[in-house]
Structure 1
Amino acid sequence: MTTLVRRRVWGPLVAFGVCAAVVLLAQVPYLRNRLFYVWDDSAVQFMPTWHHLGQRLVDGDWPPLLDVDGWMGGNLPAEALFGIWNPVNLGNYVLVSRFDDLALAALVVKSEILALLALGVYLVCREHGAGRGPSAVIAIALPFSGFTLYFDTATWVAGLMAFAWLPYTWWAARRAARGAASPLWAILFGALAVTTGNPYGLLGVCVVLGALLVENRLRRDRPALVKLFLIGGLVALFVPLVYLPLLGTSSVTMRAGQGFASDGILMPRLSDLLSMSMPSHRPMIRTFNLDYRLHTPGVYFAWFLVPLLPWLHWRRLRERWRELSGVFVVATVYALLAVGPSNMWMFRFPLRHLEVVYLAIGVLFAVAFTGGPRFDHVRRRVALTAAALVLSGYLTFAAQPWQWRQHLAALALLTVGVAVAVALARFVRPPATYAALVAGVAAALAMQTSWFPANLDVAAYGFPRSVSELKRQALPHEGTTFPVGTVLPGNVGLVADLKSTAAYSGMSFREFGVATCMSYHGTTCPASFGRILAPTAVDGRPLVDLLRVGTIVVQNDVLPDVQPPPGWRIGDRTATHTSLRREQPLPWPGGRLSYASPGVRVSENVSPDDRDESVRFTKDRGPGQLVFARLAWPGYRAEVGGRELTTRQGPAGVLVVDLPADVEGGEVKIRWTPPGLGLGAALALAGLLGAVVYALVSRRRPRRERPAPAAEAPQDLAVANA
């Protein structure tokens, strides 16, 4: 009875301690660099868009499907990575919208996600038979490994959000397979991983469920195989909701780096794993600026892992290879993905796969280190640890010898830290060892954020952190703004109340980008000024009219001494930018209609929301057309009097509605619905109902629980090393 009470008390306490420790450690990078968590894509894409979406949710706009003022970045279902169907994502967006300081908002939300990840890692280690102490150590260390911290957390947070749900899916599916828990949890966690919208989440769910199938096939557990197939099938029903809109828009979009290629960018080598315990190691991996070395410790995992390898209970892994076979499968699959090729359809930059390799390695380490280190053949183990330290130190020194002081400090941490940890296990108790390992994680993090306070392998943007400051610094403008050069790249304009045609888009609208010379991150070339003012095939109207642009902002060093074209005037001229404004206001201010062909007379144009618009008109007999300042995303439907009209792309991909010759008046109604939304929503609802039914049915059946691997938690060293 006493043992049962201890288990029920200590389990939640340790789990809470893991989350609290990770939240505290997450403050260290922020204290070193207040912009650490708003770097690169987090600065120009994620945090501004989260703030904007959160405000729309607060205003009652759910689900936020289309942002017409976002142009290339406004098709949110096609972008996918914002995870508009994930309830945790949406809650975080609302939370971010309550902040004025985006750096502080990023700190709060990303600390939460790191703690969520750590708890999942702890649970999956425990599920595989590791003790509480080693599981907690790995759970605290993994969120601060090199790639997870400097890339996923600081910049590509959509990857972090997808990765955070992977250990939960693994833990819940394995428990369900052995009859220890309801399958409902595995399905829900798998759905959360899928609905983050990041394809790496879907890939992870597939690999983990596949690995569990291999594990239970080796165990010849047919009931478990049936459960896993059902779980996988029900999770798969959530996939169309997320990815059908993306596939349905592929005919008009393009993605940078899509296809199969190998350019070497962010491609690690398996030999880099030899230095995964050196906090100062900068691996020889090609970067975006074509440098031959990362500026961050991108392959770092945990300072203690390599030095403690000689002290592990390796026999335990060999004896339990069937129970751990799923872990070996995950490690093998992701190790192969991590070495390339660099581009495989939606999956780019193989370094991203390394964190899942580390998750699997961490589970194996936690299992083998349960009970503390071994103490037979002590001299041999000391010699092997010394050799590992020398080899790691030499490889790190060889990669960048001019930073030898950092390498010496890192090597001192490893040497002293391992010696203290082993001594505490020998002369005190294993819990003291685990505390020392966590203290070393904090020390290594402090070193790294001092040496590498920011990720210089990606773009740095010097925008103010304050939303109110961004609004104050926004250039004066009227209506929609077209930038020439770099004004506010990406989606920063969303929080600066700037309706800009520029947007950061993972899936760029091909015709719009080509016609305006706009890149996927929202910057334009000098030629864009002439392109938007040149006549188009729509009655010779310039593109700037079809886009309903009211202000053109030109970066002076991109296009010096710009002069206003006819119908425009200079609004403001500063040392860095020149803004041009229209001399006359645009017609039809109530909607987005930008052109009506000769003979078409518009009496009213209303756009009540981003997805809907209506135009009342009369016209002479004969064909006509209406052009709207909307991108012609697949999914638009137009009708007049119940009769469906033809919609198509015009110049730069704007929406054109053709009016039949025999229609002389009426009201054109336009509505946009993402391709596949109805089918995807129906399948997701079926998956949710199926999960509930399956969970209820499984409760009525007698539970056939297969015992979990016993986690060794000896009370003293004699038991630990027996």
Structure 2
Amino acid sequence: MTATQAHRSETAPIAAPRGPAGRRRARDAALAVGGYLVAQVAFLAALRALVPRFFWLDDQQAQYVPGFGHLGRSPGVRPPLLDPELGSGGNFVADPQYGVLDPTHWLISAAVARLDTLRDAGWLLGAGATLVLGLGLVLLLVALRVRPALAAAAAVGAASTGLFLWVGGSWWPLMWGTAWLPWLWLGLVLRRWPGAVVTALAAWQLTASGYPYVLVPAGALVAGHLLEQRRRRREGRSTAPVLSRLAAGAAGLVAGAPGLLASQEMAEASTRSEPPETVLANVGSLIPNLLDAVLGGSTLTPSVSGAAGGYLWTPPLAATAVLALPALALVDWRRALRGRGVLTGMVLLGAALVLTQMPTDVGQLRYPFRYLAVSGPALAVLAAVALTAAARPTRRRVLAALGLVGAQLGLALVRSPALWAWHLLAAVLAAAAVAALALLLRRRTAAAGGALRAWLPRVAGPVLVALAVAADLAPVGSTTLAQARADEQAELPATGLPFRNMALRPAWGDDVAAFRDRSVATDTALTVYVFGGFDDVGREVQDQGWDWGVLPGNANLVAGLRPGFGYVAVGHDAWTERLCQDLFGQVQSTEECTDGLLERVPGTDLRWIDALSSDQVLLSPYAPDAVEEHFRDGGAWTEAGLAGVYGRFVRDDGLPGRVTWASDGVSVEAAGDDAAGDTAAAFRSGEPGESLRVSTPADGGRLVLRIPAWPGFRAEVDGTAVEVGSVEDTLLTIELPGDLDDARVDLYFDPLADRLLVPAAGAGVLLLALAVAVEVVVRRRRTA
């Protein structure tokens, strides 16, 4: 084989050339992908059998599954952009986690909406993202010439543990964003034009994932790849295309940009409009211990400063494939540094670990423990490619690998000695993985020396994959024991669930029917004021509202109830502050908050609590006395019995839809069934979300609507634009010209990001087509 042929062979893509070598590479690829899929399905099946609600807890219950289902049930192909009946949490454009400007998320929402079993919907999201990450990892490792068993074991190990699984299992955008990172790497290393397509698709999904944090390590990945390519060119070795891949990545970035642009467009009114004062300081909030991040094993309970619920998180946030860390001792690093993917992996891993130690807040990015979701897979890939480049499984190096396993065991025992049995099991699995890995790496020299020595290396690969799966399941046992002890100490019924430092909510049902049976109202919009119903202020509310029929965040959407609040990750700043709401929608009971609710709205005869309410209100039994007296004083509101434990109040103010106040002399009524009453439609792209018939006196008038004053609203009177404003940046207003006689007023939510969606997609496709065309032409010229 000539030097040129060797270089071409070394850098060949997954699609191998013809001949015996090509058939061998195709066979290895099929073995790696097949082995990974079998192992990943086995892991997910075992996890479901052990913990059926693994992906049905915390934010999956209060935000993502109900939110996606609500969007997917909306009429039309595209989901709505904004629903004022969810108050501060109703602007789906402002929060890129919902992906209302991304067609992939539209399909996900449609799929979730079709599932009546909500637990299955959670598994669709969680297991789906796990498979996307694992497939990307195994294909990347195949492209980098990692042998099949090692590729499968590293992929299933990295995709099935750590922060990615144990926190991302609730926090879905973290999973979806991280899952596309190896696909970006794969697109960059493939030599032929399909690599440009993979690069563009990965860049698109990374940008549109709703998880902007992943763009930082994505930049580090690209930088590491460029450094590696530059070094290889200097050494006279073949490289993958660079400029066309950068253009393809730019194409994906442009196509996914509207979602990020929307967040910035809404920033002036959002709760994240200004960075915190601690922008350049690490205040000890969710900062992982660096030793844990480097040495984390399958059952380590990591030290995370400032973590919710204490300083120890029992989920193994820093764990990754069981073979990854000890495998580093089996590598001859002097030779390995020249191997494909090694330098890139080192840059990515190093950047991810450094990012875990960054200041608590940097701009709108915060809580650096998130980057553990990147460091885990990066370590697994680095170990696999380094072994492929320069494995030296000598006796001395195997002992060093076992020493790393011992260090992991020692750290785990120090962190949580009560879980010693599970730590010991994890160490045994890791030691067995080292032995299997050493046998696998010595396979070529093990043919001589008897049948047993020839047979052992052949089973080392499947055993290694099985050990990776078993190690990923070990945390289920350790965290379940931790939760049992916590339940016992709190004198609560045993949940039987793993401890996650997140809301488990075992009382909540698993299907739509259970939510509809429990809800105080279904398929309607009204305003619910929850005081003290979601916190653990007493045994009667430890189920977070399940017994009372009003739930936190988006969970009420499962029953079709739009209660005037939703899950607020990126909420309306003035609206949230005026109501003193937390991110779940609960109103605080402080004297300052109560006084603010009962203040007069400037320029009107309304109090703020009236202006922010629909014509039907459900009032919590924990409401402050002053608020309860306001609704009972015989003024605008009439008491109408109970809805569960909530007091029910109604009013007839003669105003339609979301109009909460009209100036003197203005006559207003609904213009069509879709805008009448409190079940008014949400705002969709290019369609009015509120339509009215209005008459005004000669000097004009003004309408105040119970709609948060987000940027992007516009109004028309008989097709002519009129001014849209706000009351103290909180309530939306429409300024009306004089002498209108039964004129039609249409209110649109028309953000710039939505208008750029189609142009951005078109620009991305054109840029990708140009990148592919250039790459094909250049390759043909070189081979001519």
TM-score (norm 2): 0.82
Kept in 1, the 8 Å contact 2:200–2:250? The answer is: no
1:531-553 Cα offsets, whole Å, 9 max, x none, are 54553224222334433424433
1:378-416 Cα offsets, whole Å, 9 max, x none, are 2x2343244323322222212222332332232333334
Indicate the residue corresponding to 1:472 in structure 2.
517
Picking from 183, 208, 211, the partner of 2:224 is 211
Picking from 263, 272, 285, the partner of 1:246 is 263
Indicate the residue corresponding to 1:348 in structure 2.
366
Report which structure shows greater RCO (CA 8 Å, sep ≥6): 1
Question: Is 1:135 aligned with 2:135?
Answer: no
1:489 and 1:162 map into 2 onto residues whose CA distance is 25
Kept in 1, the 8 Å contact 2:271–2:571? The answer is: yes
Corresponding letter in the other structure for 1:457: N
Question: Is 1:255 aligned with 2:281?
Answer: no
Q: By how many angstroms is 1:685 displaced?
A: 1.6
Indicate the residue corresponding to 1:714 in structure 2.
none
Distance 1:570 1:702, change over 3 A: same
Picking from 565, 574, 584, the partner of 1:502 is 565
Indicate the residue corresponding to 2:180 in structure 1.
165
1:361 and 1:223 map into 2 onto residues whose CA distance is 23
Q: By how many angstroms is 1:518 displaced?
A: 0.8
Indicate the residue corresponding to 1:7 in structure 2.
25
Q: By how many angstroms is 1:230 displaced?
A: 2.1
1:429 and 1:267 map into 2 onto residues whose CA distance is 44
Q: By how many angstroms is 1:241 displaced?
A: 1.2
1:603 and 1:84 map into 2 onto residues whose CA distance is 31
Q: By how many angstroms is 1:643 displaced?
A: 3.7
1:299-326 Cα offsets, whole Å, 9 max, x none, are 11132333344333545413437x6322
Indicate the residue corresponding to 2:537 in structure 1.
none
Kept in 1, the 8 Å contact 2:717–2:745? The answer is: yes
1:101-127 Cα offsets, whole Å, 9 max, x none, are 211221133212211110101122223
Corresponding letter in the other structure for 2:654: P
Indicate the residue corresponding to 1:450 in structure 2.
477
Distance 1:373 1:551, change over 3 A: same
Distance 1:668 1:166, change over 3 A: same
2:201 and 2:472 map into 1 onto residues whose CA distance is 33
Indicate the residue corresponding to 1:549 in structure 2.
614
Q: By how many angstroms is 1:196 displaced?
A: 1.5
1:270 and 1:128 map into 2 onto residues whose CA distance is 29
Indicate the residue corresponding to 1:621 in structure 2.
698
Indicate the residue corresponding to 1:333 in structure 2.
351
Q: By how many angstroms is 1:139 displaced?
A: 0.6
Question: Is 1:601 aligned with 2:667?
Answer: yes
1:573-600 Cα offsets, whole Å, 9 max, x none, are 65xx322221x445344x3222221101
Kept in 1, the 8 Å contact 2:520–2:643? The answer is: no
Indicate the residue corresponding to 2:381 in structure 1.
363
Question: Is 1:285 aligned with 2:298?
Answer: no
1:558 and 1:24 map into 2 onto residues whose CA distance is 50
Kept in 1, the 8 Å contact 2:708–2:732? The answer is: yes
Distance 1:14 1:586, change over 3 A: farther
Indicate the residue corresponding to 2:642 in structure 1.
572
Question: Is 1:235 aligned with 2:248?
Answer: no
Question: Is 1:463 aligned with 2:529?
Answer: no
Distance 1:348 1:23, change over 3 A: farther
Distance 1:579 1:351, change over 3 A: same
Distance 1:133 1:247, change over 3 A: same
1:489-537 Cα offsets, whole Å, 9 max, x none, are 1101111221211211221101111111111222211256665455322
Q: By how many angstroms is 1:662 displaced?
A: 6.0
1:647-675 Cα offsets, whole Å, 9 max, x none, are 11226712111123465662222211113
Q: By how many angstroms is 1:562 displaced?
A: 4.8
Kept in 2, the 8 Å contact 1:625–1:656? The answer is: yes
Distance 1:63 1:99, change over 3 A: closer
5 Å-filtered alignment, 1:541-690, equals 541-557=606-622, 559=624, 562=628, 564-565=631-632, 566=634, 567-572=637-642, 574=644, 577-582=645-650, 584-589=651-656, 591-606=657-672, 607=674, 609-611=681-683, 612=688, 613-650=690-727, 653-661=730-738, 666-690=743-767
1:604 and 1:367 map into 2 onto residues whose CA distance is 66
Indicate the residue corresponding to 1:272 in structure 2.
292
1:175-196 Cα offsets, whole Å, 9 max, x none, are 2xx4464523311221122111
2:671 and 2:554 map into 1 onto residues whose CA distance is 28
Corresponding letter in the other structure for 1:164: A
Distance 1:434 1:86, change over 3 A: farther
1:188-215 Cα offsets, whole Å, 9 max, x none, are 2211221112202433433322222222
2:521 and 2:670 map into 1 onto residues whose CA distance is 29
Q: By how many angstroms is 1:290 displaced?
A: 5.6
1:92 and 1:301 map into 2 onto residues whose CA distance is 27
TM-score (norm 1): 0.88
1:253 and 1:392 map into 2 onto residues whose CA distance is 43
Kept in 2, the 8 Å contact 1:23–1:114? The answer is: no
2:426 and 2:623 map into 1 onto residues whose CA distance is 45
Corresponding letter in the other structure for 1:587: G
DSSP-derived class of the 2:76 partner: coil
2:653 and 2:38 map into 1 onto residues whose CA distance is 56
DSSP-derived class of the 2:189 partner: helix
Q: By how many angstroms is 1:250 displaced?
A: 1.0
Indicate the residue corresponding to 1:89 in structure 2.
105
DSSP-derived class of the 2:170 partner: coil
Corresponding letter in the other structure for 1:657: I
Indicate the residue corresponding to 2:587 in structure 1.
524
1:133 and 1:195 map into 2 onto residues whose CA distance is 33
1:407-445 Cα offsets, whole Å, 9 max, x none, are 223233333443455457562354522222222222223
Corresponding letter in the other structure for 2:766: L
Picking from 504, 529, 532, the partner of 1:483 is 529
Kept in 2, the 8 Å contact 1:571–1:579? The answer is: yes
1:227-255 Cα offsets, whole Å, 9 max, x none, are 24423432332353112221111111113
DSSP-derived class of the 1:602 partner: strand
Kept in 1, the 8 Å contact 2:552–2:584? The answer is: yes
Indicate the residue corresponding to 1:189 in structure 2.
202
DSSP-derived class of the 2:560 partner: coil
Picking from 408, 422, 446, the partner of 1:406 is 422
Kept in 2, the 8 Å contact 1:371–1:430? The answer is: no
Kept in 1, the 8 Å contact 2:330–2:393? The answer is: yes
Q: By how many angstroms is 1:172 displaced?
A: 0.7
Corresponding letter in the other structure for 1:685: G
1:445-502 Cα offsets, whole Å, 9 max, x none, are 3321122143432333342221111111111487412222233111011112212112
1:372 and 1:679 map into 2 onto residues whose CA distance is 49
Question: Is 1:294 aligned with 2:362?
Answer: no
DSSP-derived class of the 1:76 partner: coil
Question: Is 1:23 aligned with 2:41?
Answer: yes
Q: By how many angstroms is 1:37 displaced?
A: 0.6
Distance 1:266 1:435, change over 3 A: farther
Kept in 2, the 8 Å contact 1:267–1:286? The answer is: yes
Corresponding letter in the other structure for 2:349: A
Picking from 462, 470, 492, the partner of 2:555 is 492
